[in-house]
Amino acid sequence: MLDTIIKNGLIATESGVLPAGQSIGISDGKISAIGYEIPEGPETKVIDALGAYITPGGVDSHVHLAQRNAPTGDNWETGTRSAVAGGTTTVLAFASQTKEMGSLFPVLEDYHNKSREQCYCDYGFHFILTNPTEKILNEELPAIAKYEGITSVKLYMTYELYKLSDRQLLETMLACQSLGLTTMIHAENSDIIEFLIQGLERNGHTDPFFHAIAGPKIAEDEASYRAIRLAELMGAPVLLVHVSSDGAIKHIRDAQTRLLPIHAETCPHYLFLLSERLRAHEHDDFHGAKSVCSPPLRHHLEDLEGLWNGIANDTFTVFSSDHAPTKYDHPRGKKAGIINGIPKFSKIPKGIPGIETRLSLLFSESEGCLPTSQARLSLERFVQLTSGNPARLYGLTSKGAIMPGLDADLVIWHPQNQGERIISQDNLHHDVDYTPFEGMRVRNWPRFTILRGEVVWNADENRVTGVKGFGKYLKRDNGRVLVGKLGRQPAGMIEGERDLWRPKTVVQ
């Protein structure tokens, strides 16, 4: 018998909105039926979604929670509480190796300890590799993929404490390719950024705004291109994270046209915010630190347009928050960037919060809220970018679609033309003291968030109704390549050329 039935909603899938009048039946946390006349029992709970869209629960595949290097801001409890209040039912956050750690197992244990029984939504880990030793690549990653279901890694091309050499990128991409793992890349040219920081500081330009000058689009373009070519040589599928520049988009699009498996992600702040946010506020010179993220916000409206085009035209595979929560008014938060009373932008912790506002901001610009002619993206694209694609790309086989057999993770929006909200720190559930989206109007907000059949956010009651610890750790399968083809040879290679240098243990 059904536990819950959701009636009268408009069920949005990746291939369109289902004909009206159908219901979703839920039993044991799974979607058990979709159709017109699903019989309900006496105990079945009925939710009326009349006039409202229903989308799959959000999958936010780029989130930072209680990372070792981030002393303030959200832990797993507060971060996932904020997630469900904004319609997200699954998060993938980072477990970060530090350079002196020669094994990933203590890292894993540490992050399990921090997250176990703390979460309001389901969750998994990506590894950040800062020291990819042979032992890690050849022994630990295969074991961790198999037994822990961690099937993706993130690599950095910048930051002293994180960055890998091109040689290390090649080795890691190759190992991941052979295991069927997805490699995520933070692509910015480290030397360009360091050079510019030094020059800016020498000339006394140390206010938060100059962060946007120290990380120009060229630094991202160059590193993105390099990452793509390294991946091409290895035949490895990669995802470029938090893409913010039109030059990078061009390289990605070009690679995709050549059928390379190059995926791309962008984030709300790059679609909505400009570098002017980094400037001093009339009452607070350091206010711009709230919008310091890497890559930095860009300068011009055309920059935003370029990203919206990538959203609409399929260049982007996923839309994630890059929720990187750092308190503003805290000596180890953003204000760590004030040294002896003087602002120093290079010392400001990078990143901004956005786990709760991600879905509403994008939904607001979609056909879910606007006529097709005015919408930035279709409802189908919304579903792909916010849940279907991240679920497939990262091997979350029970998530990402409204389909019988999958977890009953759903967002029921307010009926159309209702549910408008002004985003305000006062209404958010994170443990950060600001939102960079303060004052922005969204056209709708999740009315109910449902995780495995349970209502975990109820906007009518204006409260998180889920329970801490209900969120489960997700072991993932290998992800699927969503663009391009595996095994493509770079133009000009001879047949079998890779086999001449590939280790014999690596299977194609």
Q: Which of 43, 134, 282, 426 binds Zn ion (CB under 5 A)?
A: 282
- Give the one entry of ligand DUC, Zn ion, none that residue 207 binds, where binding means its C-beta sits below a cut-off of 5 to 8 angstroms depending on kind: none
> Is 350 an interacting residue with respect to Zn ion (CB under 5 A)?
no
322 touches Zn ion (CB under 5 A): yes
Is the bond preceding 446 in cis, omega lying within 30 degrees of 0? no
Q: Closest separation between CB of residue 243 and ligand DUC, Å?
A: 11
Of 296, 295, 278, residue with least CA distance to 287: 278
283 binds Zn ion (CB under 5 A): yes
Sheet arrangement for strand 4-7? 30-35, 23-27, 4-7, 45-48
For 508, the token pair is: 């194609």
Tokens, residue 295: 């890559």
Residue 350 touches which of ligand DUC, Zn ion, none (CB < 5 to 8 A by kind)?
A: ligand DUC
| Shortest separation between residue 267's beta carbon and Zn ion, angstroms | 8
- Cα–Cα nearest to 182, from 219, 223, 141, 222: 141
Beta strands in 416-464 (DSSP E): 421-422, 441-442, 446-451, 454-458, 463-464
> Taking CB under 5 A as the criterion, which residues in 121-160 touch Zn ion?
none
φ/ψ of 86, rounded to 5, equals -110, 10
With respect to ligand DUC, which residue has the nearer C-beta, 23 or 245? 245
Interface with Zn ion includes 186 (CB under 5 A)?
yes
Do residues 352 and 293 touch, judged by C-beta distance below 8 A? yes
43 binds Zn ion (CB under 5 A): no
Q: Which stretch binds Zn ion (CB under 5 A): 226-234, 307-315, 316-324, 491-499?
A: 316-324
The reply on whether position 439 binds Zn ion by CB under 5 A is no
Between 53 and 270, whose beta carbon lies closer to ligand DUC?
Answer: 270
Smallest distance from ligand DUC to CB 163, Å:
11
Contact positions toward ligand DUC, by CB under 6 A?
Answer: 186, 241-242, 293-294, 322, 324, 350-351
Produce one character per residue of 144-163: b if its CB has 16 or more CB atoms within 10 Å, e if not: bbeebbbbbbbbbbbbeebb
Q: Which stretch binds Zn ion (CB under 5 A): 79-87, 113-121, 283-291, 306-314?
A: 283-291
Closest contact distance (angstroms) between CB of 95 and ligand DUC is 14
- CB–CB of 159/190 below 8 Å? yes
Residue ranges in contact with Zn ion by CB under 5 A: 186, 282-283, 322
